[in-house]
Amino acid sequence: MNIQLFSKNALVGGATQGIGAGIALELAKCGANVTVMARNETKLKAFVSSLPVITSDQKHSYLVADFSDFERYKKIIAGYFNDHSVDILVNNTNGPEPGLAQDKNAEDYQKAFDLLFKTVCETTLWALPHMIKQGNGRIINVSSLSVKEPIGNLALSNSIRSAVMAWAKTLSNEIAEHNITVNNVLTGYFDTERIQKLVAHEAQQTGAPAEEIRMARENKIPMKRFGKPEEYGHLVAFLASEYAGYLTGTSIPLDGGLNNTY
């Protein structure tokens, strides 16, 4: 299978590190013009300069946007789509702060809703008119295994990501006739900065060594290791390609078999 995304325009959120970076890199390798979004312009410039250019007309760019400031984000994303269109949209944001349900208040949930749900909805609704007009498009949401089974100490993420999955399924049914697919990837444990922060937070709470906590998480996974960002990119590239044209409304676990052990 030779995935070719030449002349396709992709917008990838949270893409200067971790899973987002793995996705952007693989889409670029497949020939797409990739625009990466994040809040740190210095990191964005450096990352864009590192993306491969396969053909002479392939171009990569960046968009400075802070997902945690929704009102500002609305203006930035509206300005972007006034001048651009995308064929492949990868909705990916940084996760909300960890914590227990009993320790979070209504304001915490509202902030998480703005971060995880409203940014995804806003970006997708801006991307849709072009996709509908051309009769083709790919929307891929980076989600979490927590929508299947809540993960301890992630009350905010558990709650809001489930809402995104239900919304995505609803949307997929509405726009399938336009050959636009909507799929979620349910993320397991990947070797990223995010997992390092979660391990450090748990170590601080419990007093257990961070390395011990990491090993315990790895041992729960049938493959006995964390995933690699490039492995995530491989799946997203497939979902973005013509080979996945009949695959929509799905939520695909990418977890080294962990989902089957719940």
pLDDT at 82 exceeding the cut of 50: yes
Least confident of 3-12, 127-136, 164-173, 215-224: 215-224
| Mean pLDDT computed over 61-78 | 97
Higher pLDDT, 259 or 118: 118
Q: What is the DSSP string of the chain?
A: -----TT-EEEEES-SSHHHHHHHHHHHHTT-EEEEEES-HHHHHHHHHHS---STT---EEEE--TT-HHHHHHHHHHHHHH---SEEEE--PPPPPB-GGG--HHHHHHHHIIIIIHHHHHHHHHHHHHHHHT-EEEEEEEEGGGTSPPTTBHHHHHHHHHHHHHHHHHHHHHGGGTEEEEEEEE--BSSHHHHHHHHHHHHHH---HHHHHHHHHHHSTTSS-B-HHHHHHHHHHHHSGGGTT--S-EEEESTTGGGG-
For the segment 132-189, what is each residue's pLDDT rounded down to a tens digit? 999 999 999 999 998 988 888 889 999 999 999 999 999 999 999 999 999 999 999 9
Topology of the domain comprising 9-190+229-261: Rossmann fold (3.40.50)
For the segment 34-49, what is each residue's pLDDT rounded down to a tens digit? 999 999 999 999 999 9
Identify the pLDDT of residue 260. Answer: 57
pTM for this predicted structure: 0.92
Domain boundary assignment for the chain: 9-190+229-261
pLDDT at 190 exceeding the cut of 50: yes
